[in-house]
Structure 1
Amino acid sequence: MTAPPEPARLRLRDVAAVGLTGLRGRPLRAALSALGIAIGVATMVGLVGISAVSRAALLAQIDAIGTDLLTVTAGTSITGQQATLPATAEGMVSRIPGVTGVTATGTVKNTTVRRTDLVDPSTTSGIAVQAARTTLLSALGGSMRTGTFLNAATSRYPAVVLGSTAARRLGIDSAGEHVFIAGRWFLVIGVADQLPAAAEIDRSALIGWEFARRLGFDGNATTLYERSTDDTVGAVRSVLAATVDPEHPEQVQVSRPSDVLTARAAAERTFTGLFFGLGVITLLAGGVGIANIMVIAVLERRQEIGLRRALGATTGQIRLQFLTESMALSALGGVAGVLLGLAACLGFAWWRDWPLALPADAIAGGAAAAITVGALAGVYPARRAARLTPTEALATT
């Protein structure tokens, strides 16, 4: 008696052809099944990518302003009153070893800026009038959107430079217009770009230090901006308060703008983990949907399974057929999800004019997760199909 012939081994091309048969026969069902996976992967890639783009923009801002910038402001006294910086503060700070530059601004009290003299004087629009040193813009690493900054000549006349926020609130887009300050018209000689290192400057109208004295400015700085070499930042920061006000160093507040941006970048990383978790949950929900569709497919294609078994297909080949179909569904959804997520990243970066930071880990992780979920979702339906005997599968129900 001769032994039964061994079943033919399926080549990789044959496995793909057999596994994709169900998808070609039911394209709408396949598309809807892959949609759940696509949404999950798009959520992972898109949200993680947007977070990466935002974090890259923050790091670019940190690089732009540098980590060597320190700001000094007056705090409060023991009695709770607003303290002031001594008139000698700038000169004392400039003598600290390692300091490469120091500049200042001073608040002009009881003064507002208005678009015209017809505006109610009590309407401030949240804009402060500040006296500024001519070195302020270069010290902060800023730039002008239009016009020029204060110089030795214009700082002696009624000329004003508006911060980006102040200009927007006043409805001024370019230099050459006038605003009303302290009962007289000032010529707007420039509008500054946004300054990540000093948001308070964005909300200010900057006038010359000398001319500000005519408006009642006492000449004392309200905020100092100091730069030092990279290797001396820590040492300078430790002695800055005592140098500014030796009698009351506790009334001096010292901060580093880059620390705020670094904290924001850390917060972005925290939210990235949250967004990634939301994407995983959505991806698992899509996997459950694929498992459900595959179980239905097994029930609908019992006769096909029975015919293939009768023609010699082994249980392993049947199992591989449905497992391949499940993984193909997930791969289809994964590719679509990655493309949608990348489109969201590109669109967001272009809209905000931020550097494009493609989340390579999220792209690879999303694609791998989609295939893994598809494999896991197809295990049970594949095993169920493989356990059907030819007679069970061919029997009418």
Structure 2
Amino acid sequence: MSHLAFRDGAGATPLPPPARSRSADLVKAGLGGLRARPLRAALSALGIAIGIAAMVSVLGIGAVSRAGLLAQIHRLGTNLLTAAPGQTLFGDSASLPAEAVPMVSRIPGVTSVSAVGTVPGATVRRTDRIDPAETNGIAVCASRLDLLATLGGRVRSGAYLSPATERYPAVVLGAVAADRLGIDRAGRSVYLAGRWFTVVGILDSLRLAPEIDRSALIGWDMATALDFDGHPTTIYERSADDAVSSVWSVLAATVNPQDPEQVQVSRPSDALTAQLAAKSAFNTLFLGLGAVALLVGGVGVANIMVISVLERRQEIGLRRALGATRRQIRLQFLTESVTLSLLGGLAGVLLGLATSLTYATYRGWPLALPAQALSGGVLAAVLVGAAAGLYPARRAARLTPTQALAM
């Protein structure tokens, strides 16, 4: 006979098998244990929530930043190359030939080319009463009229230099230069190279040419009157997308045929690409910190579950005396641990999603949160809860009814 039996005058009757708890019963029992100690449960789930929120936020902000930078790179283009003077064989600063710009424009595939040249010794100040040594890091540069079109920039206020203004004391300020000078609109005057110039325009920020943001741009002819020698210091070139590599290979030799090794060629969009790699490295670091926070939260859940087993010994003994098996006791506490971690994980996912959404809205970037970050956060919480509750559940299951009731 497979089950226990009792005997009376009518014979032997088998006892019914122990009842099996359904999944809904286990979840109900787990939630009941959490509701009995809400503050303790909330504090335990908080550790899981912080860890999951940190991980989801890192992945979300990383995805948002990557999407935003890729959108910027796509909008600004990767077909802009710059040529700047390097150093001579003896370590002195080299210079670019004055005729370099028209020479570059003859390269097959080049669609536009422009340049700026630093005006030596010239400074720009808000008034003539400011010490000339206080430059605020603003450079005075001669600019060709097609510079803004080549860079794909925009004027925030006023207008750019034109054939009517390039020969006169008119200046266009970069975004940073205007902020440092306290100029918020065109029409104001600044003291430049010992004379007053009228601000005819203020530029928006140029991501591919940050040096222009910190510059005061005057006409090429006007700069010549200020002892500018006509040699460009930076040449900006745009070409067709399929011609970037071929133009790069001949740009240095075209700019300075006699000493091409003294020309530094670069692609500004590579700096944005490098930002993507740097963000990925930092994301890995912060993801590791989030994992540590999640581990600490799991330890807290395990500690709380061990305390719960000690406090509920009589409940365990009573259930065992009423026929609950070791497996049922083990599943009850394991379910309670997983439920606690799952609630914390869901709260963490929502918090991380809100953080990513806030960051994307603040930067004006699209929300590009990977779905695996959300599902991964919930799965990580479940796994941590299962691992944290395994030992307390086994400890509860090992208690016999007599041991539990006698304590």
Corresponding position: 1:197 with 2:208: yes
Q: Residues 209-243 of structure 1: CA distance to partner in whole angstroms, max 9, x if unpaired?
A: 12211111122211111111111111110111011
Q: What displacement does 1:258 show?
A: 1.0
Q: What displacement does 1:152 show?
A: 2.1
Of the candidates 145, 149, 154, which is equivalent to residue 160 of structure 2? 149
Q: What displacement does 1:274 show?
A: 1.2
Q: Residues 277-311 of structure 1: CA distance to partner in whole angstroms, max 9, x if unpaired?
A: 11111101111110111011011101111111222
- Aligned residue runs from structure 1 range 12-91, under 5 A: 12-91=23-102
Q: Which residue of 1 aligns with 2:337?
A: 326
Distance in 1, Cα, partners of 2:28 & 2:355: 33
Q: What displacement does 1:338 show?
A: 1.4
- Aligned residue runs from structure 1 range 240-319, under 5 A: 240-319=251-330
Distance in 2, Cα, partners of 1:126 & 1:55: 31
Letter in 2 for 1:21: G
Q: Which residue of 2 aligns with 1:98?
A: 109
SS at match of 1:9: coil
SS at match of 2:197: strand
Tell me, which stretches of 5 or more residues in structure 1 are unaligned? none
Tell me whether 369-378 or 60-69 shows the greater mean CA deviation: 60-69
Distance in 1, Cα, partners of 2:148 & 2:17: 83
Q: Which residue of 2 aligns with 1:221?
A: 232
Tell me whether 210-219 or 222-231 shows the greater mean CA deviation: 210-219
Q: Does the aligned pair in 2 maintain the 1:291–1:377 contact within 8 Å? A: yes
SS at match of 1:2: strand
Q: Residues 250-296 of structure 1: CA distance to partner in whole angstroms, max 9, x if unpaired?
A: 10000001111111111111111111111111101111110111011
Distance in 2, Cα, partners of 1:117 & 1:290: 68
Distance in 2, Cα, partners of 1:351 & 1:173: 23
Q: What displacement does 1:3 show?
A: 2.6
Letter in 2 for 1:70: L
Distance in 2, Cα, partners of 1:271 & 1:229: 34
Distance in 2, Cα, partners of 1:143 & 1:41: 42
Tell me whether 386-395 or 106-115 shows the greater mean CA deviation: 386-395
Distance in 1, Cα, partners of 2:241 & 2:167: 35
Distance in 2, Cα, partners of 1:152 & 1:108: 20
Letter in 2 for 1:11: R
Q: TM-score, normalised by structure 1?
A: 0.96
Structure possessing the higher radius of gyration over alpha carbons = 2
Letter in 1 for 2:357: L
SS at match of 1:241: helix
What is the identity percentage for the equivalent residue pairs of Structure 1 and Structure 2?
66
Distance in 2, Cα, partners of 1:337 & 1:19: 20
SS at match of 1:394: helix
Q: What displacement does 1:335 show?
A: 1.2
Tell me whether 25-34 or 78-87 shows the greater mean CA deviation: 78-87
SS at match of 1:279: helix
Distance in 1, Cα, partners of 2:29 & 2:133: 79
Q: What displacement does 1:49 show?
A: 2.2
Q: Which residue of 2 aligns with 1:8?
A: 19
Corresponding position: 1:169 with 2:180: yes
Q: What displacement does 1:120 show?
A: 1.1
Distance in 1, Cα, partners of 2:375 & 2:185: 47
Of the candidates 194, 219, 222, which is equivalent to residue 183 of structure 1? 194
Distance in 1, Cα, partners of 2:13 & 2:252: 99
**Number of equivalences:** 396
Letter in 2 for 1:296: I
Q: Does the aligned pair in 2 maintain the 1:49–1:358 contact within 8 Å? A: yes
Q: TM-score, normalised by structure 2?
A: 0.94
Q: Residues 139-167 of structure 1: CA distance to partner in whole angstroms, max 9, x if unpaired?
A: 11211222222222222221111111111
Q: Does the aligned pair in 1 maintain the 2:59–2:369 contact within 8 Å? A: no
SS at match of 2:254: helix
Q: Does the aligned pair in 2 maintain the 1:75–1:82 contact within 8 Å? A: yes
SS at match of 1:386: helix
Q: Which residue of 1 aligns with 2:7?
A: none
Letter in 2 for 1:86: P
Q: What displacement does 1:138 show?
A: 1.8
Q: Which residue of 2 aligns with 1:119?
A: 130
Corresponding position: 1:129 with 2:140: yes
- Aligned residue runs from structure 1 range 364-375, under 5 A: 364-375=375-386
Distance in 1, Cα, partners of 2:372 & 2:172: 45
Tell me, which stretches of 5 or more residues in structure 2 are unaligned? 1-11
Q: What displacement does 1:133 show?
A: 1.3
Letter in 2 for 1:44: M
SS at match of 2:13: coil
Q: What displacement does 1:375 show?
A: 0.6
Corresponding position: 1:379 with 2:390: yes
Q: What displacement does 1:31 show?
A: 0.3
Q: Residues 141-200 of structure 1: CA distance to partner in whole angstroms, max 9, x if unpaired?
A: 211222222222222221111111111111111112111112221111221111110110
Q: What displacement does 1:113 show?
A: 0.3
Q: Does the aligned pair in 2 maintain the 1:106–1:222 contact within 8 Å? A: yes
Cα RMSD (Å): 1.4
Q: Which residue of 1 aligns with 2:374?
A: 363
Q: Does the aligned pair in 2 maintain the 1:85–1:245 contact within 8 Å? A: yes
Q: Does the aligned pair in 1 maintain the 2:109–2:243 contact within 8 Å? A: yes
Distance in 2, Cα, partners of 1:195 & 1:359: 30
Q: Does the aligned pair in 2 maintain the 1:48–1:275 contact within 8 Å? A: no
